[in-house]
Chain A
Amino acid sequence: SQQGEEDPQALSIQEGENATMNCSYKTSINNLQWYRQNSGRGLVHLILIRSNEREKHSGRLRVTLDTSKKSSSLLITASRAADTASYFCATEGNTGKLIFGQGTTLQVKP
């Protein structure tokens, strides 16, 4: 069964606004990771949050993890046109492999 479900599927905002994407999962995890994928390109690792962490920051990115609700959110502050991409959450459980969600497509309009 699909491990990560993301919402919304698509998000369109103006440059300078904040973008929030959510990810829910079903089974226990060791960590949750967020990746960005520009159209037709590979995946770029953004941030990893361990199961015993609740919040993590990296530049304009803020990730939260609520293991009781089995959910995570990715916040991009002060968005830029260059942030336009698809964003995927991926969970790593005891199997040691990453299970990806369907992704959120973010469009940032200049």
Chain B
Amino acid sequence: NAGVMQNPRHLVRRRGQEARLRCSPMKGHSHVYWYRQLPEEGLKFMVYLQKENIIDESGMPKERFSAEFPKEGPSILRIQQVVRGDSAAYFCASSATRMRANTEAFFGQGTRLTVV
């Protein structure tokens, strides 16, 4: 059973371009969470999705950022018109049930986005 798969592992974009980050949850998991980690800091919650639905996007910037988790395929975090401040590691986690049920979340290896 493969773990949470994120790709690409490293992504370099020029200012103004779009970044698309992909996350395939563990098999059987229908809950996906995206986090952002700036250097030397902890992880900051961005968005929680359950198949085809956004449950909580309270940590997502209102502009340029969007996330989806279609019925088929991976979850996608999209950042439009990237700026230098978007440079960070973006982590995806998945769980079998909503984490309120005291279940463990499994994290991917992350995508390191560098905006030049």
Contacts and interface: CB of A to CB of B under 8 A. Distances in A.
Same complex for A and B? Answer yes
Interface of A: 4, 30-31, 33, 35, 40-45, 48, 50, 88, 90, 92, 94-103
B110 interface: yes
B109 A42 contact: yes
Contacts of B100: 30, 92, 94-96
Given A43-B91, A43-B107, A98 B45 contact: yes
Contact of A42 (B48, B56, B102, B107): B107
Contacts of A40: 112
Q: Which 9 A-B pairs have the closest CB atoms?
A: A96-B100, A100-B42, A42-B109, A43-B107, A100-B43, A102-B42, A42-B107, A96-B98, A96-B99
Contact of B45 (A41, A42, A44, A97): A97
Given A30-B100, A42-B110, A45-B106, A97 B33 contact: yes
A31 B100 CA distance: 9
B105 interface: yes
Given A30-B100, A42-B91, A48-B102, A96 B48 contact: yes
Contact of B48 (A41, A43, A48, A97): A97
Nearest to B6: A42
Given A42-B109, A97-B33, A31 B43 contact: no
A95 B56 contact: yes
Interface in B69-105: 91, 93, 98-100, 102, 104-105
Contacts of A35: 107
12 contacts: A40-B112, A42-B109, A43-B43, A43-B91, A45-B106, A50-B102, A88-B43, A95-B100, A96-B100, A98-B93, A102-B41, A103-B41
A48 B98 CA distance: 15
Contacts of A98: 33, 43, 45, 93, 99, 105
